[in-house]
Amino acid sequence: MILRLAFGSLMARALTVGMTILAIALSVALFLGVEKVRTGARASFADTISGTDLIVGARSGSVQLLLYSVFRIGNATNNVTWESYQDIARRPEVDWIVPISLGDSHRQFRVMGTTQGFFEHYKFRGGQALEIAEGHGLTDLYDAVIGAEVAATLGYHVGDPIVVAHGLASFTEHDEQPFRVAGIIARTGTPVDRTVIVSLEAIEAIHVDWHSGAQRPGAGTPIEQIRQMDLTPKAVTAALVGVNSKLRIFGLQRWINEYPQEPLLAILPGVALQELWQIVGIAETALTGVSAMVVVTALLGMMAMIFSSLNERRREMAIWRAMGARPLTILGLLVLEAALMAALGAGLGLALLYGGLVLAQPMVDAAFGLWLPIDPPTARELIVLASVIAAAAVASLFPALRAYRLSLADGMMVKV
């Protein structure tokens, strides 16, 4: 009966109670939403590379190497010489090795030179391989295979010409050696979608007339002549390595890191990713903190609402008292009401979250390549909801204690 009465009391104040519940619901939805995006982003990053045991680059920070080689964020400060690359490739632990050459661009997208091996060994989302949706892979020197987003954004089709620009955001174009779209890769949700892939030799070819970053003046070498040339690169940006036994990863990593001829760095993508999370964790914590503060604000609002309702409810409290309710029962009643409001708010917040996810999922995927999974609430989320309800009960203790004292002082005949 008490629960029914508490519920009735809330219903009787539908507007203010409704606003309070809505505030709690929105704050809970925001908090859980931030969590979802956070874990979604982590999962999405973690899904970007799988099956690669080591990434090798010039010595820098492990997070930096991970970011430029896999996520195309930032730039390499140095290259890996072809000799070192060859030395690593010859190691007995190496099962496969794929070179990556970055530096040029096409419009807002990066151009990456690599080998056929990239299509065989680059795996994402738990071992999924790249798939050519249209056209074919790299066969000719001037073939380019483009990511799904490149194709969608620029409206490219198989057979369209592509001119690569030198460097990032520069006006110099390698226009004397145009490429042709040979294939379009099916959407992956990874940075591959935003990449133009050409062969390693092609990167070498377009820079035949370039020396130390500047174009040699005069007419360019004719394409026919270039096709006859030895286009083995002098250096690559990074290399993806697969080992033949996981047990040998650390040994190979140590060998590369101690490679005397050139300062190199080999990283385990999973480990570097976790290091990245440790850095990003600070921002994440801040974000989580802010959204937690929003929940706290909503609960404070609820507390203020209960406080301001106390005066008009003194009469009600006097009735409870006259009927034999102890002051403690009155305290419990107010706490129960607060817990009910918070529970309704939490439930509504969860509903808002799922509603929002259904709406936002395709948009977030399109805009950020971030796939937010719609799963049943996790234990962690349920704990968050339970904590919100518990915090509401605790917050309501303050007005409830005031009601307790009022009901003691008022006696039973409150002046109306």
Partner 1 sequence: MKPIHLALAVTALASPALAQEAREMDAHEHGVSVAEIAVEHGKVAINITAPGMDIVGFEYEAASTEDKDAVEAAIRALLTPEAIVALPEAAGCRLTEVLAHLHGGDHDDTADAHMDDDHDDHDDAAHEDHDDHADAAQHTEFHVSYAFACEDEDALTQIGFPFFDQFANAQEIDAQYVTETGAGLAEITRAAPTLTLE
Partner 2 sequence: MTLSARALSLENVRFRWSGRAAFGLSVPEFRVSRGESVLLLGESGSGKSTLLSLICGIVTADEGRVSVGGTDLSSLRTGARDRFRAEHIGVIFQQFNLLPYASVSDNIQLPLRFAPARRKRAAPDEAARLCAALGLPEGITDVTAGHLSVGQQQRVAVARALIGQPPLIVADEPTSALDAATQDSFLALLSERIAATGASLLMVSHDERLGARFDRVVRLSDIAQTDGMTA
Name the residues that contact Zn ion, by CB under 5 A. 104, 166
Q: Residue 20 or 27: which CB sits closer to partner 2? A: 20
**20 interacts with partner 2 by CB under 8 A:** no
Distance between CA atoms of residues 90 and 85, nearest Å: 9
The nearest distance, CB 317 to ligand ADP, in angstroms, is 12
| Closest CB to partner 2 among residues 325, 391 | 325
Q: Between residues 11 and 351, which has the closer beta carbon with respect to partner 2?
A: 11
Q: Residue 397 is inside which H or E element, if any? A: helix 379-410
Of 344, 378, 375, 383, nearest to 358 (Cα)?
375
Is 363 in a helix, a strand, or coil?
helix
Q: Is 2 in the site for partner 2 (CB under 8 A)?
A: yes
Return the residue matching tokens 């508490």.
Answer: 6
Residue number with CB closer to Zn ion (220 or 332):
220
DSSP for 50-113, please give it: BS--EEEEESS-HHHHHHHHHS--S--SS-EEHHHHHHHHTSTTEEEEEEEEEEEEETTEEEEE
Identity of the residue, 374 or 408, whose beta carbon is nearer to ligand ADP in the bound complex: 408
Under the criterion CB under 8 A, does residue 268 sit at the interface with partner 1?
A: yes
On whether the CB atoms of residues 223 and 140 are closer than 8 A, the answer is no
According to CB under 8 A, which one of 128, 274, 288, 329 is a site residue for partner 1?
274
Q: Pick from 147, 233, 269, 349 the residue near partner 1 by CB under 8 A.
A: 269
Least Å from the CB of residue 310 to partner 2? 16
Tell which positions 227-256 bind partner 2, by CB under 8 A. Answer: none
Our finding on whether 255 is near partner 1 (CB under 8 A) is yes
Report if residue 310 touches partner 2, rule: CB under 8 A.
Answer: no
Mask 383-412, x = binds partner 2 (CB under 8 A)?
Answer: --------------------------x-xx
Min dist. Cβ of residue 406 to partner 2 (A): 13
Token couple for 31: 């908090």
How many Å apart are CA 107 and CA 105, to the nearest integer? 6
Q: Is 321 in the site for partner 2 (CB under 8 A)?
A: yes
DSSP 264: E
Q: CA 286 to CA 280: how far, in whole Å?
A: 10
Measure the CA–CA gap between 191 and 195, rounded to whole angstroms.
7
Binding to partner 2 by residue 416, rule CB under 8 A? yes
DSSP 229: S
Residues engaged in binding partner 1 (CB under 8 A): 46, 50, 53, 93, 245-255, 257-258, 268-271, 274-275
